[in-house]
Amino acid sequence: MIEYLSIHSLGVIGDATVELDPGFTVVTGETGAGKTMVVTALNLLLGARADAGAVRHGASRATVEAGFRLTPGHAAVGLATEAGAVLDGEADPDGGADPGDTADLALVVTRSVGAAGSSGRSRASAGGRGVPVALLSELGEHLVAVHGQTDQLRLKSPAAQRHALDAFAGSEVTEALAAYRRDYEAWKQAAAVLAEITTHEQDRAREAENLQRSLEEIDLAAVEDGEDLAVRALIERLENVEELRAASLGAHAHLAGADAADAVEIPSAEALIESARQSLLAAPGQDDDLTGMAQRLAEAGILLADIAGDLAGYAARLDDDAASDLDTAQSRLAELTRLMRLYGPELSDVIAWAEDHRPRLEELQGDSGRIEELTGEVARLGQQVTAGAAELTRLRTAAAQELSGLVSAELRALSMPDASFHATVTTGGDPGPHGADEIRLLLQPHAGAAPRPLGKGASGGELSRVMLALEVVLAATDPVPTFVFDEVDAGVGGEAAVQIGRRLARLAQHVQVIVVTHLPQVAAFADRHVKVTKDSDREAGFTTSDVAVLDGEDRVGELARMLAGRSGSDAARDHARELLEASHA
């Protein structure tokens, strides 16, 4: 619902804020006072096209703002949150936020319009965050339904009309539609897979052949993660084996001494270390420093002996590696490189590619069996979809007849005795996600006329009454939080006006209702009476309007003015009190 509406520099309204109740609020005032600016402001907040001419003379911008109270699960909450809007929730008694709180949320929406000739553009915000004007339209579809002389219909689209009829039909259609959609989605998915297989059978066969060839060559290569690095190291060793052998044997000779067969005598590092140690041990006396250094030389000799042994082993392994075929290692590296180029870039990627594509090969190789299986499944699900669509048609047709009768009865009470409402269900099309039915809401304005879509063949006032009748019937099943009616009572009076007021009050039992009216019979039924007053200052050259909430004798006076043109007439005031008492009764 709308908690408040603020208007600044829009039309004749300079600056006004009005608090709104959850029930029935009526807006009245003399002709030209600016009553329609309330509807204009709401339309701006709902994404209507901005009119720079509506900006108050002398002002650079017009601004309207509304505070909405929403339940946490409301569709508008999700739309606003996705756009980055901040919604205020009720605080718990300790002042903190409770994540599990189900209290209502507050959303503030603003819209500003630049005056003609100014550089300012239309701007919109929701929850303190600037948003596209298109988002206001999306929010508006879930927040407010405006029925006026020139406003679009809430139930204009076929989808909205189908949704309204399904909601009116109740749980039977809800359950039947849910079952139908499950079958429909399964049927479409199975049919799509079958079409994919049969339409691209040759392509899938070629894909299977290529996949099998690729997986076979990877399996045959028996690659291991990191194997290419080991092969590269082996190739480098084989290519430099002589230099490596010479280096390792030369170092070994310096440490352990040359072989007896070598012509050149190389002093042994091990022997020199040992000689140095013996010299220290041969010193007279027991010198602790020399004894310690002798021990360290012994440790150095052991370390050099270990290194010499490692060098001898390394040289021996070089001899073993030399027996390997360098060509074989290079061929292996070439094979690994080719696989990495095709499926890599690393060997780990080659292995992962093979594992990822094995299921696809199994799927493709089973095409023949799957075609037979899917053909049967598509046929079975198709029968279920057809049966489900027929059941939806049956339920919708019954609901359409009931809805037509109820709305037509409401129209007769709203001073449209010759009009009749028709909800039609036409079937025979291809099944879709919502069945095979085309739902249309039609109005037959008078006997002998052909039923026409809502919005065609009826005046603005008549159309507002048609929508009032329809909304009253749908109120308990398909409501939006707030309904706004502008001049719903155009062209009627007397008992018909009383019936309009009574039905607006009935609608307000389910939703918030805001009505702009000039009929006291309608205004008397309201829970809250808002008056727009005009004040002209010819010398200053401007006109202003103000918005005030009336109660008590002030409300009686306004109803008297609407009845007799004079708020001070005793007879009119008595009549006004009588209207209020009758409406409350």
Per-residue confidence band for 24, with pLDDT thresholds at 50, 70 and 90 = very high
Is the pLDDT confidence value at 439 over 90? yes
If asked whether residues 368 and 226 sit together in one domain, one would say yes
If asked whether residues 542 and 571 sit together in one domain, one would say no
Q: Look at residue 122 in the predicted model and tell me its pLDDT.
A: 83
If asked whether residues 102 and 170 sit together in one domain, one would say no
What pLDDT, in 10s, does the model give residues 258-281? 664 454 567 788 888 888 888 888
Q: Look at residue 118 in the predicted model and tell me its pLDDT.
A: 67
Per-residue confidence band for 368, with pLDDT thresholds at 50, 70 and 90 = low
Answer whether residue 444 is part of any domain: no
Query: Of 151-165, 220-234, 285-299, 516-530, which range is least confident?
Result: 151-165
Answer whether residue 259 is part of any domain: yes
Q: Look at residue 93 in the predicted model and tell me its pLDDT.
A: 40
Query: For residues 556 and 573, what is the distance between their CA atoms, to the nearest angstrom?
Result: 6
Q: Average pLDDT, stretch 144-149? A: 76
Answer whether residue 216 is part of any domain: yes
Q: Average pLDDT, stretch 336-363? A: 90
Query: For residues 207 and 37, what is the distance between their CA atoms, to the nearest angstrom?
Result: 67
Q: Look at residue 338 in the predicted model and tell me its pLDDT.
A: 92
Q: Look at residue 99 in the predicted model and tell me its pLDDT.
A: 46
Determine contact, residues 77/106, Cβ cutoff 8 Å.
no
Q: Look at residue 261 in the predicted model and tell me its pLDDT.
A: 47
Per-residue confidence band for 96, with pLDDT thresholds at 50, 70 and 90 = very low
Answer whether residue 310 is part of any domain: yes
If asked whether residues 143 and 178 sit together in one domain, one would say no
Q: Average pLDDT, stretch 66-76? A: 88
Answer whether residue 60 is part of any domain: yes
Determine contact, residues 37/13, Cβ cutoff 8 Å.
yes
Per-residue confidence band for 54, with pLDDT thresholds at 50, 70 and 90 = confident
Per-residue confidence band for 60, with pLDDT thresholds at 50, 70 and 90 = confident
- The runs of H, that is alpha helices, within 268-343 are 269-281, 288-322, 326-343
Q: Average pLDDT, stretch 92-97? A: 41
Total domains in the fold of the chain:
3
Q: Average pLDDT, stretch 19-41? A: 83
3-state secondary structure 548-560: EEECHHHHHHHHH
- Strand duo 438-444 + 420-426: pairing: antiparallel
If asked whether residues 70 and 204 sit together in one domain, one would say no
If asked whether residues 147 and 253 sit together in one domain, one would say no
If asked whether residues 572 and 510 sit together in one domain, one would say no
If asked whether residues 173 and 313 sit together in one domain, one would say yes
**Which tokens sit at 428?**
């025979």
If asked whether residues 573 and 545 sit together in one domain, one would say no
Q: Look at residue 90 in the predicted model and tell me its pLDDT.
A: 45
Q: Average pLDDT, stretch 502-520? A: 89
The parent domain of residue 135 ranges over 1-153+480-550
Answer whether residue 445 is part of any domain: no
Query: Of 220-229, 283-292, 351-360, which range is least confident?
Result: 283-292
Query: For residues 525 and 79, what is the distance between their CA atoms, to the nearest angstrom?
Result: 35
Answer whether residue 115 is part of any domain: yes
Query: For residues 528 and 3, what is the distance between their CA atoms, to the nearest angstrom?
Result: 13
Instruction: Please state, rounded to an integer, the average pLDDT across all residues of the chain.
Output: 83
Per-residue confidence band for 174, with pLDDT thresholds at 50, 70 and 90 = very high
Q: Look at residue 347 in the predicted model and tell me its pLDDT.
A: 92
Dihedral of alpha carbons 304, 305, 308, 313, sign: negative
If asked whether residues 89 and 186 sit together in one domain, one would say no
Determine contact, residues 558/533, Cβ cutoff 8 Å.
no
More confident residue, 454 or 91: 454
Can you give the CATH number for the domain in which 17 is found?
Answer: 3.40.50.300
DSSP 213-275: HHHHHHHHHT--TTHHHHHHHHHHHHHTHHHHHHHHHHHHHHHH---TT-SS----HHHHHHH
Q: Average pLDDT, stretch 478-503? A: 80
What is the reported pTM?
A: 0.63
CA–CA–CA angle 276, 279, 285 (5° rounding)? 140
Q: Look at residue 74 in the predicted model and tell me its pLDDT.
A: 86
If asked whether residues 375 and 489 sit together in one domain, one would say no
Q: Look at residue 543 in the predicted model and tell me its pLDDT.
A: 59
Per-residue confidence band for 322, with pLDDT thresholds at 50, 70 and 90 = low
CB atoms under 10 Å from CB of 423, counted, come to 24
If asked whether residues 225 and 104 sit together in one domain, one would say no
Answer whether residue 399 is part of any domain: no
